[in-house]
Amino acid sequence: MLLAIDVGNTNTKFAVHDGADWRGQWRSSTDSSRTADEYGPWLSQVMAMNGLSFESLSACVISTVVPQALFNLRNLSRRYVGVEPMVVGDGDLELGIAVRIDKPSEAGADRLVNAIGAFIEYGGPAIIIDSGTATTFDIVGADGAFEGGIILPGINLSLQALHDAAARLPRVEIKDPGLVIGKDTVRAMQSGIFWGSIDMIEGLTRRIRAEYGAPMIAIATGGVASLFEGAFSDIEHFDQDLTSRGLLEIFRRNGGVL
């Protein structure tokens, strides 16, 4: 079985695939100082809840946007899985995706992995809206190439900035407040974040489609995306397995067999 590890700025996702299906997926807060021996017992326990163990794993693939976390996760794979992991970004790893931007080296590993996962499942052209620490819009061409996109602050980051910069504004839960016009501070903030985020995402999606000049599938993913499911009119798919699917495909493209 394959252990796929996706390290984001806020959360790290661990997923196990048996060659046919995903057997389990778990999230941990990203902490670059967390050692392999701290990850090991926690991961052993959550895998056991799904009837899995380290002995059932035979391979590991890692994607990270936090370089400082890689050393400990390599050690996790070596010490507990017993294999040298495939790491997205290593020079000898073939992604099998064309990168059509001015500086290909600047394309983040997570964005390329998402592009691969989206193309495998939905084809292209496509727009991937990934709502995490940052909100990114990534463009996948008709042939699966990564063709650029948009990066802006994520929803939680925007809320945190609002709270930090305005002493009297509280921390609020991200939720549909019902009405657009808030009758108190909390509901006014919730409306601004919820409806403002929806209008921003739908507006940019429309602009991308108009500029691209061809029909495009829109796919939402990321830790915050599920909060908005059902509220968008311009997004066809909500898919929380996009990155894991991309990592599985990269594993296969580099000779991995389960």
> Does residue 69 surpass a pLDDT of 90?
yes
- What residues contact residue 103 under an 8 Å CB cut-off, 6+ apart? none
Q: Among 61, 87, 113, which residue terminates a domain?
A: 87
- Region 203-226: what's the mean pLDDT? 91
- One domain for residues 165 and 195: yes
> Does residue 225 surpass a pLDDT of 80?
no
* 256-37-91-101 Cα dihedral, nearest 10 degrees: 100
pLDDT (0 to 100) of residue 178: 85
Locate 142 and state its tokens.
Answer: 């008709």
User: Can you give the pTM of this predicted structure?
Assistant: 0.87
pLDDT (0 to 100) of residue 48: 95
- One domain for residues 136 and 232: yes
Residue pLDDT, tens place only, 75-89: 999 999 999 999 998
- One domain for residues 117 and 214: yes
pLDDT (0 to 100) of residue 6: 94
Domain CATH code at residue 200:
3.30.420.40
Q: Give percent above pLDDT 90 in the chain.
A: 63
> Does residue 219 surpass a pLDDT of 80?
yes
Distances (CA, A) of 85 to 43, 50, 65, 152, 171: 16, 23, 16, 31, 40
- One domain for residues 82 and 113: no
- One domain for residues 224 and 112: yes
- One domain for residues 139 and 30: no
Residue pLDDT, tens place only, 160-177: 887 787 767 788 878 888
Domain that holds residue 149: 104-245
- One domain for residues 40 and 129: no
Domain assignment present for residue 92? The answer is no
Domain assignment present for residue 78? The answer is yes
- One domain for residues 69 and 180: no
- One domain for residues 140 and 75: no
Residue pLDDT, tens place only, 107-126: 888 899 999 999 999 999 99
- Catalytic residue, candidates 110, 130, 138, 239: 110
By CB neighbour count within 10 A (0-12 exposed, 13-18 middle, 19+ buried), where does 117 fall?
A: buried
> Does residue 234 surpass a pLDDT of 90?
no
Give the mean pLDDT of the chain: 91
pLDDT (0 to 100) of residue 154: 84
Domain assignment present for residue 16? The answer is yes
- One domain for residues 122 and 78: no
Q: Among 87, 121, 148, which residue terminates a domain?
A: 87
- Listing from the earlier edge strand, what are the strands of the sheet with 59-64? 22-29, 11-17, 2-7, 59-64, 86-87
The closest of 218, 195, 192 to 207, measured between CA atoms, is 218
Q: Among 38, 58, 87, which residue terminates a domain?
A: 87
- One domain for residues 121 and 162: yes
Domain assignment present for residue 254? The answer is no
Number of CB atoms found within 10 A of residue 242's CB: 28
C-beta contacts of 19-22 below 8 A and 24+ residues apart:
19/258, 22/241, 22/244
- One domain for residues 162 and 49: no
Beta bridge partners of 86: 61
Task: Work out how many domains the chain is built from and give that number.
Answer: 2
- Region 50-69: what's the mean pLDDT? 94
Look up 110 and say whether it is catalytic: yes
